[in-house]
Structure 1
Amino acid sequence: MSTSEPIQFHFQKLRRPVLSPSQRGFDSKNTYNPAVVKRRGTFVMLYRAEAEGEKITGRIGLALSDDGVNFVKHPEPVMEPEYGWEKVGVEDPRVVKVGDTYYMTYTGYDGNVARLCMATSKNLLNWKKHGVLFDEFPFEKNGKANWTKSGAILAEKMKSGPFKGRYIMYFGDSNVWLAHSKDLLHWEYEEQPVLTPRGYLVEPGPAPMMTDEGILLIHNEAFGEVGSLVYTVQAALFDLDDPRRLLWRTEKPLLQPEFEWEKRGWVNNVVFAEAMVEHEGRFYLYYGGADRYVGLALSGTPGGLP
């Protein structure tokens, strides 16, 4: 693995959140960990929402913006728990568009086990759920089998190598594994992790990007001990032919908790990225702050990333 830095990162955070909990309603406790895409020039944010006084760990809310900074919320959630495997929460959406369809990976939580799930939409408002992606998964987390979450899909097929003509997805929230698919709905996973934690855990962030240097995966890493973890945003680069092969990873975080609203919230000391959007030559990196707010960091100069 190369130690030289093939891509220079310079992100500048906005000092205040771009989304905060409402005074009442389904998102009155926490609003965080969003997916963001642009549709017909409008930024569409799908965010994890929790209400005061409820045990539900996530509904999915929607907010719109013309500039990517000032968002107006839709008054009702666009996705709620329905099935047994998600009866406690639908959480942490990530969205990519392929053709005329939006594909959302999200976590379904039944109160005991978290499972990676899929939903699709044509308009980002009405979603069709396709269920759990992996009925069985051999890696245990906290002594619980079949635990999977956090799927970040590359929105184009591999052009060469062992997965040529297939879509790939990085997923997991302790290690990161690779999965591949012909149709984006049915997935097969590789048994060995492709990215392992340097601290407590590692978890995919926004959708991976094809660059000249390799496949870029911005991801989240937590360091420390349970009860005093610090979540940071990092990056890794994988081989263009074999997306299992790690080429390089950041030594210093792209983002780390700094502001009070990143250090104090529902879970303290968290910055957690799940979405990145290109706009007017810059990259807008959206992240959850302390599991309560949505923050935004901008690439330092136009064209600051490949």
Structure 2
Amino acid sequence: MPDKSSSAKAPSITRESVGGDPDYIAPTFPIGPFVKHKSNPILTPNPEYDFESSYLYNAAAIVLDGKVFLLYRAQNAAKASSIGLAWSEDGVNFTRLDHPVLTPTEPWEHGGGVEDPRVVRVNGVVYMTYTAYDTVKARLCLATSTDLVHWEKHPPLFSDWEEVEVTVSGRHAIRRGFTKAGAIFPEPGLDGKYTMLWGESFIYRAESEDLIHWTTHPFDEWFATGVHLWENRLLEPGPPPIRTKDGKWILVYNAATTGGGRFRSNQYSVGQMLVDYTDLEAGPVARLEQPCIEVDQDNEETGQVDQVVFCEGLVQFKGQWLLYFGQGDSELGVAVATVV
């Protein structure tokens, strides 16, 4: 059974904490193959604490001071989301903080809450993109921290955005003010600016000089959209991109389909694409033809949302790649690949 151990206090993290695995080896494209861990789900809702009493899934991951830390989406019986914190010595067995570290406090968060974090650490500061949801619109937001517990929020990033949405039926619709899913490169590009890949139905580009204030490219300059059948409805960045041995970058992303072949309507999968940071205008260099993670477990087939695997956290830790993914929007699993 998944461990439900908890603590009133988190390990001490500061700006001086050491990030990453000391024996880190840069990957080649693609990372994998991934195998789902036999202990899945590794985290499930804990009814002892209201904030995570109903659902627990979609976790960002980061390695600090020799531990894996997860920032995960938790929901109570009212389906209001908050962000919880957990940590582990082995990447599989976790202790949780007994209270959330990010809760809905702003008007654009009331009703739905704060959800789906991605994290990147630059110069000792952790930048967390997350989705604020007021039950009507999703808004991409940003928060910063140095200790993973106390966070400073910043306003929604792209409030005037308009895009084309691909519906479950395959029809196209205009969606206004709906923004999600920001994956930030952990280092600046050649122009000295940082880049964020973001979006849900398409993947877009945004740039920043300070990692706080972001300017996005217009819709018609999108970075990527679906190519394969299993990604023809939705494309959404996962964890921050990871640099390869030859200086390219790997973006793990989430996709959904209108259905066909072995893929059912609105089935989610996890893929990987290769990115040239020096030429983002060209779009992806390559992508996997088949998903690296697919729905094949009971708690992925059926959950709060059926047919879902969804990744927001990937770290290298003690000779393994650990890819954390939501199962059926209800529980959290991990898939493992050997570092080579």
**Structures share fold, TM-score greater than 0.5:** yes
SS at 1:269 equivalent: coil
The equivalent residue for 1:203 is 236
Q: Deviations over 1:8-45 (max 9, x none)?
A: 63111113211101124211111000111112112111
The equivalent residue for 1:107 is 131
Q: CA deviation at 1:244?
A: 3.2
The equivalent residue for 1:156 is 187
SS at 2:108 equivalent: helix
The equivalent residue for 1:74 is 97
Q: Deviations over 1:23-81 (max 9, x none)?
A: 242111110001111121121111100012x142x111111111110011111111111
Report the TM-score when normalising by structure 2. 0.82
Q: CA deviation at 1:243?
A: 2.1
The residue type equivalent to 1:224 in the other structure is T
Contact 2:29–2:250 (8 Å) recurs in 1: no
Q: 1:101 to 1:6 in 2, by over 3 A?
A: closer
Q: Deviations over 1:132-181 (max 9, x none)?
A: 111211325454311110000011111x3xxx211111100110001111
Report the TM-score when normalising by structure 1. 0.91
Q: Deviations over 1:218-254 (max 9, x none)?
A: 10111125x9411000011122311232211110100
Q: Deviations over 1:265-284 (max 9, x none)?
A: 10111110101111122211
Q: Which runs of 4+ in 1 moved over 2 A?
A: 5-9, 140-144
Q: CA deviation at 1:287?
A: 0.6
The size of the alignment, in residue pairs, is: 291
The equivalent residue for 1:63 is 86
Q: Deviations over 1:81-128 (max 9, x none)?
A: 111111121010001100010000000111111110000001000000
The equivalent residue for 2:336 is 298
The equivalent residue for 1:31 is 56
2:183 equivalent to 1:145: no
The equivalent residue for 2:117 is 93
SS at 2:280 equivalent: coil
The whole-number CA distance in structure 1 between the counterparts of 2:308 and 2:156 is 27
Contact 2:162–2:174 (8 Å) recurs in 1: no
The equivalent residue for 1:188 is 215
Q: CA deviation at 1:213?
A: 5.5
SS at 2:300 equivalent: helix
Contact 1:140–1:147 (8 Å) recurs in 2: no
The equivalent residue for 1:21 is 45
Indicate the larger mover: 113-122 or 240-249: 240-249
The whole-number CA distance in structure 2 between the counterparts of 1:74 and 1:127 is 15
Unaligned runs of 5+ in 1: none
Contact 2:162–2:175 (8 Å) recurs in 1: no
The residue type equivalent to 1:42 in the other structure is K
The whole-number CA distance in structure 2 between the counterparts of 1:242 and 1:115 is 28
Identity of aligned residues (%): 39
Contact 1:215–1:243 (8 Å) recurs in 2: no
The RMSD of aligned alpha carbons is 1.6
